[in-house]
Chain A
Amino acid sequence: MEYKFIGKEFKRVDALSKLTGRARFLADIILPHMYYGIFLRASIAHGEILDIETEDAKNVEGVKAIVLGRDFPHNYGHLIKDRPIFAFDKVRYYGEAIGGVIAKTEEAARVAADKVKVSYKPLPIITHPKESLNNKEVIIREVSPTPDMVYRPVKGTNIFHYDVVKRGDVEKGFEEADIIVESEFNIAPINHVQIEPHGAIALWDEDGSLTVWSSTQAPFTVRYFLSDIFELPLNKVRVIAYYVGGGFGGKSDVGIEPMVALLAKSVPGHPVKVILSREEVFHGSFLRGNFWGRVKTGVKKDGKIVSEKVEFAMGGGGSGEFGGTVVDGAFKSAVGPYEIENVHAVGYGVYTNLPPTGAFRGYGHPETHWMIERQRDIIARKLGIDPVVLRKKNILKPGSINIIGQKIEEHNGNLEKCLDLVVEELDWPNNIGHIDKKNKKAYGKGFALLQKSPVMPTNAASSAILKLNDDGTVNLTVGTQEIGQGIDTALTQIAAEALGISPEKIKLVPYRDTDLYPYEWQTVASRGVWSVGNAIIMAADEVKHKMRKVAKEIFSVDEEDIVVEDGLVFPQGEKEKAITYKDLAIGYTLPEGSGIGGPIVGAGYFIPEGLVYPDPETGQGNSAAEWTFGAQGVEIEVDLITGKVKILKAVTAIDAGTIINPENARGQVVGAMAMALSIAQREAIVISKEGKIRNDSLTDYKISTIRDVPSEYKVFFVETEEETGPFGARSLAEHGMVAMAPALANALYNALGVEFFKLPITFEDIALAIDEKKIV
C-alpha cells in the first residue's frame, strides 16, 4: 500500500535533545532536600544471615537511617512471589542487597556502609543450570506451589518453573528416522551493559503517597509492584521516567524501585536517590542467565526432520519471578522456525547462586536458536546435503503448523524469501570456507534462521491519547517508553498517517509519568509499534469521529457525508467548503456567535485479542501473537595464529511487515547484530568458585568497541503486511539478536572444520582449537 508518512524518511524526534546533551536522564535529577542511598551487599554467594551490626555505621556524620531486609521481610512477585526487596533470611548470590544506608551525601552513605558488619553461616553454592537441575541436596529456595501461583515449582528441587511442548510421538519418530543427531550446548551468563547504570529516586509524601523516578522500560509495572508491596492504591503511586540510556530488557523487570522506595520510607519528605555503580550493575541488576540444553533430532535421508526432543535449563539466579517468563518465551521457539511432526520439548527455570535472571533482548530466543541453528548445520553435514536445502525442506511456510499448534498464514511473513536474500548476499554455496595456510588465515561463511513473537501476557495492553490544539497541532501521549529504539519517532509517523497531517505537526510528549500518561503494559517484546500503533489508530478514529459530529452541524449534512482527509474537513464532493482541524480543535463558532462541539481529544486502546494460555501438558494453543521471521549470516576471516575473528560482513533479512521508518528500523537491526556478535565473541560473566563475579567492570567484561564490530552490515526488509499490525507493521527490535551466534559458529565450522557448542566463542577458544586440530 502507498502511505504518506509511513515508510518515509523522518528524522528522530529526540535527536536534538539527545545530541545537545539536554535530554534528561535519571541521574541528572536533583531534588530539594534530597538524601542519597547506598545498598549493603552480601559478601558471600549463599548463606544464612546470622547477625548485622550497624552501630558504627549509624554514628557516621550525615547518616539519616539504616534499613535492613529484616525490617520488611517480604517476598514480592506476580507469578511466584520469590523476590525479597532486601534479603532477610539468607543471601542467595554474591552482592545481593541486604539493606541500605541513607545519608546527606553519597560519600557519607558509602563510608557508613563500609562499617556495617554482617555474619553469615555459609552454604554450598550452585551456579550452573544443569547442576542445579539435577541437585536435590543444595536447595537454594524452598517454594511450594499454591493454587494462585502462575509458575510451576517442583517441590524438593531448584526448579521454579517449567514448560512442556508435546506434539505427536517423538519416540516413534526416532524409530522412523534414518539418522539420529544428538548435541549438547551451553551459554555463559551475560550482562546488558546499558551505558546508563540503573537507578531510582523515591519520595514519600506526608499524606502517604509515593513518587518514584526511575530509569525504567515499564513505569506502569513498577507502579503495580510498588502498590502491591506497600499496599497503596494505584493513584497514590506515581512513577516518572525520563529517557532510558539503554534498556535491552534489563530495565523492564522491577528490582531497584522497591529497594529505593523502602529506604525512602524511613525519611518521609526527603527524596532518596540511588544510582548504581558499574560494579553494582553486574551484581545488583539482572542478568541473562546461563543456559544448558540438549537436542536430539531424527531425520530422514532426504533431510526431512521427523522428530526432535529438546531439553534445556536456564539459570534463574536467586529469584525466579522475572526469569520464568523467559522460559515461557523460549519454549515456543524450542525447535526454531520449523514444522516438525513429533516434538517433545521441556524447558526449566532453576535457581542458581547468581544475580536473578530477567529480560534480555531476544527473551530466550537467542538461546534456543543457538542450539537449533547449530543442530541444523550439523545435521546437513551428516547427511551431506546443503544446509539451505535442509532448511527449506523443513521451514515454516503458509499452511505449516508450528510447535504450539498455530497454523502459519500468508500474512505472518515470508521466511523462505529472507533465507534466499541472505544466501544470495553471501554468494552461497560458493567459497563457503577455506584455509589459506600461506597467509595463516581461514575464511568462512555461515547463516541461520530466526523466529520470534512478542513474549507477553495474553492481555498485554496499550493505550494512546491524541489532543488537538487550537492551532491545528496535536499532542500525543502514550505510556510506552523511549529507550533508544526510536518508538517516539515511529509512533509520531503512525499518528500522522492516521490523522492525515504531517508528522511535524505532532508532538509526542517526551518522558513518561503514570499520573498523566495513558496505560501501557511494558516497553518490551518489540511490541511497541504494533501494539501502541494500533491504539493510536483507534484514537485517531475517535478524533475524526468527533470532528465529523461537529462538521455535520456546520454543513447541515449527515455524519457519513463528512470527509476528514489531509487535515481538511468537508462535505462529500464539496472540498472548496473545507474547514481545517484548527477550526474544530477546541470547538467551532457558528456565524451567529454560538459555539458547538468542544476541545477534541481521542483515546484509543489495543489488546491482542484471541490469545489463550498454553495447555500445561502439551504447550498447545494460540499463545503467541504475530511472528516475525528472518535469516542472518556472516562472512568471517580467522587469524590462525591468534584465533582472532574479523567479521567481514554481517547480513540480516527480516520480514517485519511494513517498515514505518526505514532508517531507524535499519538502526535497530544493525545494533542488534553488533550486540549479538559482541556477546557471541567475547561476553561472559566469569564466576569464581566462591560464586563471586570476577569481571564486574568494563575493563574485565569487554563489550565490542568500534574496533571489534563488523566491517560491513547489510539489512534487507521483506515487507509482507501484517494483518493485525498498524499499517501492516510488526515487531523487529530484538530479532537481529536471535540468530547471529549460530551464524557465526556455522561460519567458524566452514572456516576451520571445528564444531563449537558453547558461547561465547572467544579468540582464545579458537586459537586452542586451531592448535588442537593442528590446522597451522
Chain B
Amino acid sequence: MKKEINFVLNGNSVSIEVEPNEKLLDVLRDKVGVKSPKYGCGRGECGSCTVLLNGKSIRSCITLAIEVDGQEITTLEGLQKDGITPLQKSFIEHNAFQCGFCAPGMTMTATELLNKDPHPDEEEIREAIAGNLCRCTGYDTIVKAILDVAEKK
C-alpha cells in the first residue's frame, strides 16, 4: 500500500514512494540520504531528529512521512547551502558540542528560535531548547553560543 509523496527538501523537490507507517526520519536518512537528523529515542523525547516543517521544528521520528506531502522540510544540509551559518560558527567558537550527536537537532531548534525572534534572552533560549537533550556538555556552552548570535544580530 505504498503512496507517492511530493515535498520540498532543502529547496529541492522530492518525489518518493513510502509506506503509510514509515517515519519521516527513516525516509530522510535511509531513502533520501540526508544524514544530519539522528535517531536517539524514537519517541520525540531527545530532539536529535529535529527538522523544520514549513519553518517550524518537528520531531521527524514521530512524524509519518505521508504527513509532509506537499510541504517544505529543512534539515541542517539545507541551512548551510551557502556555507556555514553564524549559528554554526558560534557553536564552534563556544565549543558547544562534544560527541556531536545532538548538534544537528540542537542547531535546528536554535535556528527556529532565532528566525522567530532574532534577540532572545537567556531565559527564552533555555526554554526553546529544553526539548533537546545533550549528555556531554552540561549545556552552558550551548546557551552561550546561541546568546552570542542573538546579541550580534
Contact = CB atoms under 8 A, between A and B. Distances in A.
A483 B130 CA distance: 24
A245 B101 contact: yes
B134 interface: yes
Q: Most A CB atoms within 10 A — which of B97, B99, B126?
A: B99
Interface in B125-147: 126-127, 129-143
Nearest to B89: A19
**Central interface residue in A17, A25, A244, by most chain B CB within 10 Å:** A25
B77 to A, nearest CB: 6
A699 B45 contact: yes
7 contacts: A19-B100, A21-B75, A22-B35, A698-B41, A698-B43, A706-B142, A707-B127
A195 B107 contact: no
Contacts of A673: 138
B88 interface: yes
| Chain B contact residues, majority secondary structure | loop
Interface string A643-670: 0000000000000000000011001001
Interface stretch (A8-16, A456-464, A565-573): A8-16
A674 B143 CA distance: 14
Given A14-B100, A19-B107, A483-B99, A671 B136 contact: yes
B107 A246 contact: no
A11 B102 contact: no
B98 A706 contact: no
A275 B38 CA distance: 12
B133 A698 contact: yes
A671 B102 CA distance: 14
Nearest to A486: B98
B30 A30 contact: yes
B30 to A, nearest CB: 7
B115 interface: no
Interface in A418-459: none
Contact of A246 (B126, B129, B130, B136): B136
Contacts of A664: 95
B45 A707 contact: no
A184 to B, nearest CB: 31
Nearest to B127: A707
B60 interface: no
Contact of A703 (B30, B129, B135): B135
A305 interface: no
Given A21-B104, A671-B138, A706-B142, A196 B95 contact: no
Contact of A484 (B36, B46, B98, B140): B98
A707 B126 contact: yes
Given A16-B92, A245-B101, A709-B139, A195 B77 contact: no
Contact of A243 (B99, B129, B132): B99
B78 to A, nearest CB: 10
B95 A27 contact: no
Contacts of A16: 84, 92
Contacts of A713: 138, 140
A19 B39 contact: no
B54 interface: no
B85 to A, nearest CB: 10
A324 B38 CA distance: 34
B101 A667 contact: no
A508 B140 CA distance: 28
Contacts of A64: none
A19 B40 contact: no
Interface string B6-17: 000000000000
A18 interface: yes
Contacts of A30: 30
Given A21-B76, A195-B133, A674-B137, A667 B99 contact: no
Contact of B135 (A18, A25, A193): A193
Interface in B70-95: 75-77, 80, 84, 88, 91-93, 95
A675 B101 CA distance: 16
A413 B100 CA distance: 32
Contact of A195 (B40, B80, B141, B142): B40
Given A670-B137, A675-B138, A703-B133, A484 B99 contact: yes
B102 A195 contact: yes
A137 B132 CA distance: 46
Interface in B12-63: 29-30, 35-36, 38-43, 45-46, 48
A736 to B, nearest CB: 9
A557 to B, nearest CB: 46
A194 B135 contact: yes
A756 to B, nearest CB: 23
B101 A195 contact: yes
B130 A278 contact: no
A27 B39 contact: yes
B103 interface: yes
Contacts of B36: 20-22
Contacts of A578: none
A23 interface: yes
A277 interface: yes
Contacts of A247: 99
B98 A667 contact: yes
A244 B100 CA distance: 9
Nearest to A672: B138
A485 interface: yes
A745 to B, nearest CB: 20
Given A195-B48, A699-B45, 18 more contacts: A11-B93, A14-B100, A18-B99, A19-B107, A20-B36, A20-B76, A21-B75, A21-B77, A25-B38, A193-B133, A193-B135, A194-B135, A278-B43, A483-B99, A675-B135, A697-B43, A706-B132, A710-B138
A33 to B, nearest CB: 15
B101 A20 contact: no
B43 A25 contact: no
A167 B63 CA distance: 62
A14 B141 CA distance: 16
A528 interface: no
A594 interface: no
A248 interface: yes
B28 to A, nearest CB: 11
B135 A667 contact: no
Contacts of B48: 195
Given A20-B84, A671-B136, A674-B137, A663 B95 contact: yes
Interface string B99-126: 1111110010000000000000000001
B140 A277 contact: no
A12 B92 CA distance: 8
A195 B134 contact: yes
A193, A667, A670, A699: residue with the most chain B Cβ atoms closer than 10 Å: A667
Nearest to B141: A667
A492 B138 CA distance: 25
A197 interface: yes
